[in-house]
């Protein structure tokens, strides 16, 4: 009788699968013909497997909703973008680039601000105003001045239920510290790898999913390189949720919101309903994507 489950860990050719019904963890191997068919199971994959002997066998990988190369993980529901207020300084350009990449992968991003206690009260209030703009664009924001207070951590954990969550953000933004506040084991796992990565050695990093707050959380920060190589000029405007809200009212279908007449997105920008910094980043990214096209 075939069973179904999800891979939560891979270790040198073995895969730990959580059975959907019994919730027990079964160690499995992939079927021999997977290699011939160039199929590689990923942590996060939903699978059918047979567990009659001492060791189970993965029979089939069910269709993936999405997958990442770094970290190698599939079927991710949300990404917590850890972004620092200071040391390194807040950068809306970098944040927008990460958000666009996450949206491109069909994953829901949430924004978590760290190190705001290093700002003066005035600077913090300024940054909060900027983040209000992201909230208006449809993103969930965690921006308390005391970044790791229990109440805010509790609100973050409440978003994990029935989801697979990864953490991402620029290096030095405080991902390990945040993971430590959620679960000591998670923090330790990520701290150990960032030490290895900082030595400049390329290590193949095994990902594991930890069960937290009725959801699964990856112990590896994602999106180590942020470029827009995979994104087309046609897709880019669809990766800004606040543009999507108005683009149906533009005069032209497929409006790029640049020089077209009767563009609703530009009207809303002029009215102050879309952030200028986001629109500027959009033009900057569009330019970057068009320059790739010229090179290749």
> Which domains does the chain show, CATH number per domain?
3-63 (2.40.50.140), 68-218 (3.40.50.300), 236-295 (1.10.40.50)
What is the Cβ-side half-sphere exposure of residue 229, based on CA atoms within 13 angstroms? 5
Q: Look up the pTM and report it.
A: 0.91
173 marked among binding-site residues: yes
Closest CA to 19 of 54, 48, 57: 48
Compute the distance between CA of residue 129 and CA of residue 132 in angstroms, rounded to an integer. Answer: 5
Provide the strand spans (E) within the chain: 3-11, 14-19, 25-30, 46-50, 56-61, 67-68, 73-74, 78-84, 108-114, 140-142, 164-168, 209-212, 215-218
| Amino acid 144: pLDDT | 97
Closest CA to 183 of 153, 151, 224: 153
Compute the distance between CA of residue 99 and CA of residue 190 in angstroms, rounded to an integer. Answer: 21
Structure tokens at 85: 């207020």
| Amino acid 49: pLDDT | 97
Compute the distance between CA of residue 181 and CA of residue 179 in angstroms, rounded to an integer. Answer: 5
116 marked among binding-site residues: yes
13 marked among binding-site residues: no
250 marked among binding-site residues: yes
DSSP 119-171: S-HHHHHHHHHHHHHHHHTT-EEE--SSTT-HHHHHHHHHT-TTSEEEEE--T
Does residue 98 contact residue 168 with C-beta atoms inside 8 Å? yes
187 marked among binding-site residues: no
9 marked among binding-site residues: no
Compute the distance between CA of residue 218 and CA of residue 252 in angstroms, rounded to an integer. Answer: 42
136 marked among binding-site residues: no
Q: What does the pLDDT profile of the chain (296 residues) look like in tens digits?
A: 789 999 999 988 899 999 999 999 999 999 889 989 999 999 999 999 999 888 999 999 999 999 988 788 999 999 999 999 999 999 999 999 999 999 999 999 999 999 999 999 999 999 999 999 999 999 999 999 999 999 999 999 999 999 999 999 888 888 888 988 998 887 666 666 555 555 444 444 578 899 999 999 998 776 655 788 889 999 999 999 999 999 999 999 999 999 999 999 999 999 999 999 999 999 999 999 999 877 76
263 marked among binding-site residues: yes
Helix pair 92-104, 276-295: axis angle to 10 deg: 60
184 marked among binding-site residues: no
Does residue 241 contact residue 273 with C-beta atoms inside 8 Å? no
| Amino acid 200: pLDDT | 46
């Amino acid at each position: 009788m075939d069973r179904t489950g999800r891979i939560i860990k891979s270790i040198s050719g073995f895969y730990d699968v959580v059975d959907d019904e019994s919730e027990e963890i079964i160690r499995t191997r992939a079927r021999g013909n997977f290699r011939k068919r160039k199929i590689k199971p990923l942590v996060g994959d939903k699978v059918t497997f047979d567990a009659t002997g001492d060791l189970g066998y993965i029979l089939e990988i069910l269709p993936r909703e999405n997958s990442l190369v770094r970290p190698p993980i599939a079927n991710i529901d949300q990404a917590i973008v850890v972004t620092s207020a200071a040391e390194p300084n807040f950068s809306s350009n970098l944040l927008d680039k990460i958000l666009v990449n996450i949206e491109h992968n069909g994953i829901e991003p949430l924004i978590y601000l760290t190190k705001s206690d290093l700002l003066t009260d005035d600077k913090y209030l300024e940054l909060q105003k900027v983040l209000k703009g992201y909230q208006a664009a449809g993103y969930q924001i965690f921006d308390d001045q005391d970044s790791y207070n229990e109440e805010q951590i509790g609100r973050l954990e409440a978003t994990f239920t029935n989801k697979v969550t990864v953490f991402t953000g620029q290096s030095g933004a405080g991902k390990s510290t945040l993971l430590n506040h959620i679960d000591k084991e998670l923090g330790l796992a990520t701290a150990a790898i960032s030490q290895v990565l900082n030595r400049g050695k390329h290590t193949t990093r095994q990902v594991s999913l930890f069960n937290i707050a009725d959801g699964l959380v990856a112990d590896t920060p994602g999106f180590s390189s942020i470029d827009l190589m995979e994104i087309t000029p046609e897709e880019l405007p669809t990766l800004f949720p606040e543009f999507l809200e108005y683009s149906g009212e533009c005069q032209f279908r497929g409006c790029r919101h640049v020089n077209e007449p009767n563009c609703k997105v530009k009207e809303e920008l002029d009215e102050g309903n879309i952030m200028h910094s986001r629109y500027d980043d959009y033009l900057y990214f569009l330019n970057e994507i068009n320059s790739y096209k010229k090179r290749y």
